[in-house]
């Protein structure tokens, strides 16, 4: 095996080079990308936020980034399905590691996340974040809106997350209400998919409930999402509990009656017309998982987000 190497996450000589690590071995970065804190020449930074102090039910999403990275080792460097391309041939992607947070001082968490996210965005890189509970999307949205202006939120979730609360409260169920109130997202262009609970407010957003998702084809659902955002800059957030617990048991607040991973992945691959400026996958809690089912779903969703961005870059380079 003279041409093969291991531990590509630290031995890679190029941000676009292919890994040859065995699936069962080697240092685990996201999809074997090089670990780096340097943003020079980077198209995409994959970043973990191991935070779950805002959960209202079962904790454990702080281990989500580790689980998603581990599950992503199943992706080798062949063309990735369904994009039929080596995602890294023309797209420089790093694993930016994790956000350093003080577990004993949660009031500092939002500003810490926002500050580091802004550093990545100001470099020109696209930021793909691995949570962590859904509270982390609040400071991420603030950082993205500071760069791109008010965003269309495309949210896959079983919960609306529109519970109003005090501005300084650390709560994973209120980030949408805050973002609407503070003008960070445009509710008229925002949409929530897979909702299977009720909250006091809809904040003027379009809601596609779980039973409606079941009645729609992936093509129709993707078309609705694209048409509703009307081409404005969008932020894509995926709470893993959007999926039915049969497909994502490892999460803090599972809700029965959700879609399959196959259906939602079919929707995601059709969102290439969205102007996605940032994305995250949150609420993977591996302590409640079985055979890495949830982590594999989370890693696959994150890979699809990279695939969509690779397609966008290819279109831009083609003119």
Give domain status of residue 3, yes or no. no
239 is in an annotated binding site: yes
165 is in an annotated binding site: no
Give domain status of residue 102, yes or no. yes
How far apart, in Å, are the Cα atoms of 51 and each of 166, 224, 235, 255, 260? Answer: 20, 33, 20, 21, 26
pTM above 0.85, yes or no: yes
pLDDT for residue 201: 86
90 is in an annotated binding site: no
pLDDT in tens, 177-214: 999 999 999 999 999 999 999 988 889 999 999 999 99
241 is in an annotated binding site: yes
pLDDT for residue 316: 87
309 is in an annotated binding site: no
pLDDT for residue 76: 74
Give domain status of residue 1, yes or no. no
pLDDT for residue 168: 73
pLDDT for residue 161: 86
Split into its structural domains, the chain has a count of 1
Domain with 253 in it: 8-318
pLDDT for residue 2: 55
The CATH number that applies at residue 132 is 3.40.800.10
pLDDT for residue 151: 98
182 is in an annotated binding site: no
Give domain status of residue 14, yes or no. yes
The segments of the chain whose pLDDT lies below 50 read: none
How far apart, in Å, are the Cα atoms of 120 and each of 128, 129, 218? Answer: 10, 11, 33
Give domain status of residue 2, yes or no. no
Sheet of 126-131, strand order: 34-35, 93-98, 44-49, 126-131, 276-282, 234-239, 152-156, 191-195, 206-209
pLDDT for residue 174: 85
């Amino acid at each position: 095996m003279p041409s093969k190497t291991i531990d590509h996450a630290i031995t890679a000589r190029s941000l676009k080079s292919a890994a040859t690590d065995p699936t069962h071995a080697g240092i685990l970065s996201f999809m074997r990308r090089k670990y780096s804190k340097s943003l020079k020449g980077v198209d995409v930074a994959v970043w973990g936020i191991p935070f779950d102090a805002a959960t209202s039910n079962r904790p454990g999403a702080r281990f989500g980034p580790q689980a998603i990275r581990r599950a992503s080792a199943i992706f080798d460097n062949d063309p990735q399905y369904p994009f039929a391309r080596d995602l890294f041939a023309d797209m420089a992607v790093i694993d930016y590691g994790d956000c350093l947070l003080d577990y004993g001082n949660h009031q500092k968490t939002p500003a810490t996340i926002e500050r580091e996210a802004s550093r990545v965005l100001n470099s020109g890189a696209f930021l793909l974040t691995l949570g962590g509970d859904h509270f982390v999307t609040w400071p991420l949205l603030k950082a993205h809106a500071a760069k791109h202006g008010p965003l269309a939120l495309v949210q896959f979730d079983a919960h609306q997350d529109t519970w109003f609360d005090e501005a300084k409260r650390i709560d994973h169920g209120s980030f949408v209400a805050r973002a609407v109130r503070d003008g960070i997202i445009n509710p008229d262009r925002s949409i929530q998919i897979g909702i299977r609970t009720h909250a006091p407010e809809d904040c003027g957003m379009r809601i596609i409930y779980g039973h409606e998702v079941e009645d729609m084809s992936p093509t129709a659902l993707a078309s609705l999402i694209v048409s509703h955002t009307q081409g404005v800059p969008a932020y894509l957030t995926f709470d893993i509990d959007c999926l039915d617990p049969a497909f994502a048991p490892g999460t803090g607040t599972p809700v029965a009656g959700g879609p399959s991973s196959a259906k939602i992945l079919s929707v995601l691959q059709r969102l290439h017309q969205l102007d996605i400026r940032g994305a995250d996958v949150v609420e993977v809690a591996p302590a409640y998982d079985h055979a890495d089912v949830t982590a594999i779903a989370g890693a696959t969703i994150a890979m699809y987000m990279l695939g969509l961005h690779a397609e966008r870059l290819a279109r831009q380079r083609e003119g």
